[in-house]
Amino acid sequence: MDRLLGLLATLCLGTMAVAQSALPRLGQYDVLHYDFAISLFDGTDQIKGKAGLKMAVLQEADTLTLDLYAIDQTGKGMGVKKVTTGTGDLFFRQSARRLHIWGSEAFQPGSTDLSIEYEGVPADGLIIGENKYGNRTFFGDNWPNRAHHWLPCNDHPSDKATVSFRVQAPDGYQVVGTGALKEERSLGDGRRETHWEAKVPIPTKVAVIGAAAFAIAHQGEAAGVPVSAWVFPENRKEGYADYAPAAACLSFFSNRIGPFPYEKLANVQSKTRYGGMENASNIFYFENSVTGLQDHVDLIAHEVAHQWFGNSVSEGNWHHIWLSEGFATYGANLFLEEANGRAHLEERLISDRQRVIAFANRYSAPVIDTTITDWNKLLNPNAYQKGGWVLHMLRRKVGEQEFWKGLQAYYATYRDGNALTIDFQRVMEEACGCSLSSFFQQWLYLPGVPELKVEWAYRSNGEVVLKVAQQQKEGRYEFPLDVELRSADGQSYRFTAEVSGEDREYLLKPGFLPERMALDPDTWLLFKAQIVGP
């Protein structure tokens, strides 16, 4: 029998307010649909654009403000030529990153259509340049809010809209885009127009096109969704093979989470600045992702998982990015667990845990870190590996069935919408019929990980005294800590200490002389520990 011997300390967790970043304009209007006509050229990086926006104005406004990067001192940026609405021309003014639009009368609540003609050389957002084979390419690379370098829009993940791209480019380019292919036609002057349309609302961060000379393979369907590979012609064979695992990833998440949210899945070799960018229904991978070795399956699984989490269920604001990156990180781990077994999952979790701890040593902040205002700095091990670990521990906390049931309910509830951490917590609480307040509080709003001092000693009467103390600077955690005692001749004894606010001692009766002790032998806990004992 194991007994609680004493209470050494009692500490409790305070409730922290969740700071939310919000833009006033998010309450002023909602963009329902974008219709972008974009012309691309050889010989100049200048693009010409015409954007049609269908908006719901939510409250009377003298001025509507959109995001658009104006021409800067380097000469790059977008210059607006004309803004019109159904009843005629509108006035406009550009500031550094905004387009302000007004008319002779205020905009009234209801539906408003805007048409914006503009042109310029993108300073960012649409990456124009040669690929590694010296061929000219164009790739949208919008994350986090870089879409407004080439598209007038409300560049925030909480304003989702359906999107149409009509792209005119010289013959010789194939154009991939978000949504379904509606039309391809020759314009008769050495140019072609390609029309893609996403009928499912998506955030601007993942609404893109890519134009290049591609080799394209239609690789059949997975869970009823067409899957294709778009690679540079020089990488044709290897690229098709390297991106093929995307189909198995799509099937896995469809089966486990819910139907794939989009019209198709294209896997695209690109010039994204990231390793992979989860653009909705067309994932862009870095150009050296093609090796012929299928050695980026984890990257593919991560980006495919994002189609459900990040793209379809999007974080309501950037500070909740773990709902995107943590889910994609753990999603890839879940796929690899299914494909390769539990040992592979544990190997990855151990590596993820090391990254979380190393990061916490350099930067002390919780997963939901409202001090960050440069969104690219949110791409850190807290959002990815710690976010993934939170889901892993939640899986144990609520149980296997409830975990999957909760993920399915979360997707079903917030599909094509937005969620904050509290929304996810509520859905999981519903799934498990339990309170998860302290779980979410400690793992998402405290910095670092629990730091344990675990002392153990063997007594001559056969008992083992185990003492567990928490030593981290901030807060106290509650979690189950699995302990395994092993003898020299291979016997083992398992015990789970329910660690809480108090430092505690436990008496264990393994029935043999233990030679060593292992903490968390099944890799369920994000922690670090100093072990003192035999």
The footprint of Zn ion (CB under 5 A) covers 325, 328
- Minimum distance, C-beta of residue 28 to Zn ion, in the bound complex (Å): 30
The one-letter amino acid at 454: V
- Least distance to Zn ion, CB of residue 317, Å: 17
> Cβ of residue 435: shortest distance to Zn ion, in angstroms?
30
Q: Judge whether 99 and 66 are in contact, CB under 8 Å.
A: yes
Contact 99, 79 (CB under 8 A): no
- Measured from the CB atom, the residue of 265 and 466 that comes closer to Zn ion is 265
Give whole-number Cα distances, 220 to 180, 217, 228, 266, 502, in Å.
15, 9, 7, 11, 57
Cβ neighbours of residue 377 under 8 Å, at least 6 residues apart? none
> Residue 303 Cβ, how far from Zn ion at the closest point, in Å?
7
- DSSP one-letter string for 14-36: PPPP------GGGGTEEEEEEEE
Q: Rounded distance, CA 491 to CA 393, Å?
A: 28
Nearer to Zn ion, 411 or 477 (CB): 411
Single out the residue of 523, 491, 522 nearest to residue 509, CA to CA.
Answer: 491
How many residues are listed for the chain in this entry?
534
Nearer to Zn ion, 325 or 423 (CB): 325
Kindly tell me the sign of the dihedral angle through the C-alpha atoms of 286, 288, 291, 297.
Answer: negative
Nearer to Zn ion, 328 or 436 (CB): 328
Beta carbon nearer to Zn ion, 103 or 310: 310
In the bound state, the residue with its beta carbon closest to Zn ion is 328
Tokens matching residue 417: 């919408």
Residue 283 CB, shortest distance to Zn ion, in Å, is 10
Instruction: Give min distance, CB of 205 to Zn ion, in A.
Output: 11
CA 484/CA 143 separation, integer angstroms: 45
CB of 302 to Zn ion, least distance (A): 5
Instruction: Output the smallest distance, CB 328 to Zn ion, in A.
Output: 4
Which is closer to Zn ion, CB of 330 or CB of 477?
A: 330
Closer CB to Zn ion, 268 or 328, in the complex: 328
Looking at residue 296, its amino acid is H
Concatenated DSSP letters for 426-483?
Answer: HHHHHHHTS--HHHHHHHHHS-S--EEEEEEEE-TTS-EEEEEEE--SS----EEEEE
The pair of three-digit structure tokens given for residue 163, joined into one six-digit string: 């999107």
Nearer to Zn ion, 197 or 325 (CB): 325
Tokens of 483: 């302990």
